[in-house]
Amino acid sequence: MEPTPKGLIFDIQSFCVHDGPGIRTVVFFKGCNLKCVWCQNPESISMNPELSYSETRCIHCGLCADACSFNAILRTPSIPTFDWKACQTCMACTQVCPSRALRPIGTWMTVDEVMQKTESDRVFFENSGGGITFSGGEPTVQSKFLQALLEEAGRRKFHRALETNGHLPEERFAELISHVELVLFDVKHLDSKRHKNLAGVGNRLIQRNLEQLSRTNRVRWIPRFPLIPGVNDDTTHVKNLGKRLKTLGAREIHILPYHRLGDAKRRELGYPQPDLMKCVSVPSKAEVAEIVKVFEHLGLSTSVGG
């Protein structure tokens, strides 16, 4: 008898309305196979559980330093000092923190445990035409666990949506999308060399999977475009991207404008800010509206924020 599969999940959010039709529950997988410099969910990158520290929540009680057996937390007159390299993510500090300034990011869960958290939302799915969206991170990194969840969600007659960057073997991608009704597919940059500089990998495999998806008539798909000023927002690139998507049969696109909410998360995880992003600004409403015009002029129904 095979052991019950487990996956690393860092959040499950109910009553979401921007990740597919209707009211949805979004299951966030931990771990990503890209290294996008603009990543706004840095807590999703690592494929291991992590420790997060919020200075604004901290009441400076020192209990965390007393609980740490690895001397990774040093008691100081004001806020504690963390030696992130010494931290073994035993999470003993999170168990004694009274203000939840210290939190574990990532929990190993079984398929049944995830489904128990989503089953209570069934009535909202049924009344709104919603369902479950599997997001991340990149959920296909944990492809066996993802498939087990997709199959169980299908048995329960839930609408299933998958958010993906498309960077996985073509055969595996084909197997996974056979278990979903909707794919929300990230399209970051058309140029493969530029894509590699920005996300750590080229986009040739991603483009092949996008082409495969466009030929799969049973599955609805929507491209999603993370709009990063100075990175992928020049008019020529946006026009060429829109034309490419129209050629593949896309009818709509979701624009995801860059924001800075990930900055605080990086600090809480002890991550440095990428140099490239220090000078990138949040796009204005007018700038976003210009991008919308380009896509809509090409015949793509465009929404902002998913």
Taking only the tens place, the pLDDT of each residue in 194-233 is 999 999 999 999 999 999 999 998 999 999 999 999 999 9
Per-residue pLDDT band for 152 (boundaries 50, 70, 90) equals: very high
39 phi, psi to nearest 5 deg: -45, 125
Do domains 6-47+106-304 and 50-104 share one topology? The answer is: no
**Is 6-47+106-304 assigned to CATH 3.40.50.720?**
no
pTM: 0.92
pLDDT tens digits, one per residue of 246-290: 999 999 999 999 998 888 888 899 888 777 677 788 999 999 999
234/47 Cα distance (integer angstroms):
33
Residue 274: count of CB within 10 angstroms of its CB? 14
220-227 vs 131-135, strand pairing mode? unpaired
Domain range summary for the chain, segments of one domain joined by +: 6-47+106-304, 50-104
Q: Is the peptide bond before 62 cis (omega within 30 degrees of 0)?
A: no
DSSP labels, 154-199: HHTT-EEEEEE---S-HHHHHHHHTT-SEEEEE---S-HHHHHHHH
* Six token digits for residue 132: 């479950």
Highest mean pLDDT among 39-43, 76-80, 277-281, 290-294: 290-294
Cα separation values, 254 from 76, 212, 233, Å: 47, 20, 14
Q: What is the Cα–Cα distance from 126 to 124, expressed in whole angstroms?
A: 5
Confidence (pLDDT) at 246: 97
- State residue 278 phi and psi, 5-degree precision: -65, -25
CA dist 134 and 30 (Å) reads 11
Identify the helix (H) or strand (E) that includes residue 103.
strand 102-105
* Alpha carbons 238 and 233: distance in angstroms, whole number: 6
CATH of domain 50-104: 3.30.70.20
Length of the chain: 306
Q: Could you report how far apart the first and last alpha carbons of the chain are, in Å?
A: 41
Work out the number of other CB atoms within 10 angstroms of the CB of residue 49.
16
| H or E element at residue 211 | helix 204-214
